[in-house]
Structure 1
Amino acid sequence: MTSPDLPVKRQKTYKWHLGALILIAAVAATYTFRPNDLPEARHQSDKVSMLQGRVVGVMDGDTLDLIDTDEHTIRVRLSYVDAPEFTQPYGPLARQNLARLVIGKQVMVRVHGKDKFDRLLGEVSHNGQDVSETQLQQGLAWHYLYYARKEQSAGQFERYQQLEQTARQHNVGLWRDPKAEAPWDFRRQVHG
């Protein structure tokens, strides 16, 4: 769209602006923002949203897949707890228990953000019951203090602490083993 009537300097400026607009339009066309898109940060409380879906898979004792109302499959990591890795003692039992609690069921997720593996981080509940609390109660997860101290509400923090302490005192689940290794220590040894 250059014209022999336009000075050369204006033609170059026009081409530059046109090129920039085309580039911006191309970038905008490849990215569609949806309200459920979340930041790449851990637990940003000012960006909390709710998600509903049916659980279709359980990876381990603290990670599940669900299909949301838009038929998207979404991986969710339970906030504030850390279950044994699948290859650790009690790992398969933690996975089996989480599956018993949620597989095939409708759940609500209070989403806080995403982790470094692009999983949504959230508090998962079924029929009003926090499944992380159940995992703690049954001695199949640790209260993940590294994140909980910074981000969890005071009331929920105390409740999770109490559930873990009670399970420890009664030797429930993994607490039967006096040498139970925390998953974060296990991962550090395996991955360095």
Structure 2
Amino acid sequence: MKKFFLLFLLIFCSLAFCQTYKVIGVKDGDTVSLLMDGKEQIVRLANIDCPEKKQDYGTKAKEMVSDLCFGKMVSLQGDEKSDRNGRMIAELILPNGVNINKTLVKNGLAWHFKKYSKDNSYAQLEIEARNRKVGLWKEKNPIAPWIWRKMTKEEKASNSFAF
């Protein structure tokens, strides 16, 4: 099945003239910088939300993205939408077909961002990661980044936010 997918991707990209772009920066686990047409373009990874930099596993998420794609060529999948900060929203695909976004969820380094995603494959990957207790799912009560961003400094310091 994997060979079929890679063959399909190769044929599709050659027919659709898929563009590839160099990853020139990794801001955090779910935000990268690409070199597009000679200019920097910030891309927010679609369908996911990684822990913030100061949150548990935030650094690990950033490190995984860096290890997988920094300095490499990637293609983008998405509908060319942008977020409220003007960042392009897309899935990052390596030349070997690896989807960076899904890899983060599979390894327990990102949540499926259900508020902005209807792709159920991410929900399934999150369930599997939770069941395997990998990454942030090893923790007793991991705090979703969208909740963590709303917490006060005191709540973050004590990690006593009531759910």
Same fold (TM over 0.5): yes
**1:109 Cα deviation from its structure 2 partner:** 1.1
Matches of 1:106 and 1:190, distance apart in 2 = 39
Residue number in structure 1 paired with 2:104: 135
Identity of aligned residues (%): 36
Ranges in structure 1 where 5+ consecutive residues have no aligned partner: 1-49, 150-156
Residue number in structure 1 paired with 2:76: 109
1:54 partner letter: K
**1:110 Cα deviation from its structure 2 partner:** 2.2
Match of 2:61 among 74, 89, 94: 94
Aligned 8 A contact 1:51 1:110 in 2: no
Indicate the SS of the match to 1:134: helix
The answer on 1:174 being equivalent to 2:136 is yes
The answer on 1:78 being equivalent to 2:45 is yes
Rate the CA distance shift 1:190–1:76 in 2: closer, same or farther, 3 A: farther
**After superposition, what is the alpha-carbon deviation per residue over 1:78-134, rounded to whole angstroms, capped at 9, x for unaligned?**
000000000100000000001111101100112431111111111111122111110
Over alpha carbons, which structure has the higher Rg?
Answer: 1
Indicate the SS of the match to 1:107: strand
**After superposition, what is the alpha-carbon deviation per residue over 1:23-54, rounded to whole angstroms, capped at 9, x for unaligned?**
xxxxxxxxxxxxxxxxxxxxxxxxxxx75310
Indicate the SS of the match to 1:86: coil
**1:170 Cα deviation from its structure 2 partner:** 0.9
Match of 2:25 among 16, 39, 57: 57
User: TM (normalized to structure 2)?
Assistant: 0.78
1:58 partner letter: V
| Alignment coverage as a number of residue pairs | 134
**1:190 Cα deviation from its structure 2 partner:** 4.7
1:147 partner letter: Y
4+ residue runs over 3 A deviation: none
Aligned 8 A contact 1:137 1:164 in 2: yes
Rate the CA distance shift 1:51–1:78 in 2: closer, same or farther, 3 A: farther
Matches of 1:158 and 1:89, distance apart in 2 = 25
Matches of 1:100 and 1:188, distance apart in 2 = 30
Residue number in structure 2 paired with 1:126: 94
**1:189 Cα deviation from its structure 2 partner:** 1.6
* Alignment root-mean-square deviation, CA: 1.5
